[in-house]
Amino acid sequence: MPKHIKWTFEENKLFENALAELNLETPDLLEKITSRVPGKTVEQIKEHYEALVDDIKMIESGCVPLPRYKNPKEDEIKGSSDAARNKPTHRPRKKGIPWTPEEHEKFLVGLEKYGKGDWRSISRNCVQTRNPTQIASHAQKYYNRLQKQNQKLSSASASASASSSSSRPPDPSGGSTAAQPSASSFPLYNPHQS
């Protein structure tokens, strides 16, 4: 069982710099990092790297809340109560830039290739103009739109089959006669559609 060794600030900095400078796909990555961090073994580097990967996954999945940093200007206020100092500053919300049809097409390709939830891979490899958080937000809106469209389709087909059931014999297979969209068919993207 690996021991959790304390890392100094300098060792962490050397480790991070090595990760930033080296190709992460190289087969001897851990050995190269070890050569740049004196006093650490390959096993310690591997454990530290795996802990970093786990931390990143936790942060990107939303399991770890972002820290709330103090505003230095609030500390300068004399005579203010703790409640006033801890009150968040209100800034107008920055409006997002609408997705282009090309970005949405790349998003769909990434969704097919990497699956739902791998927003970082979609961002890095398909829609480089958007970060993983923007991809996740877009996916959430996209799936909500799909769900609304499917609800409209099912309610429309239910009312159509109810009104036409008296004039048509029942389907012998027991299935619905309404055409269902296939799992791979995606609706056209309209950024102005709610």
Give residue 81's pLDDT: 53
Are 37 and 18 contacting, i.e. CB atoms less than 8 angstroms apart? yes
Distance CA 34, CA 42 (A): 6
| Angle formed by the axes of helices 42-60 and 29-36, nearest 10° | 110
Structure tokens given for 118: 């791998």
Q: Is residue 70 part of a domain?
A: no
* Residue-range definition of the domain harbouring residue 133: 101-158
Report how many domains make up the chain: 2
180: number of Cβ within 10 Å = 12
Model confidence over 59-118: pLDDT tens digits?
Answer: 888 787 767 777 766 555 555 555 555 666 677 777 788 999 999 999 999 999 999 889
Domain of 122, CATH number, reads 1.10.10
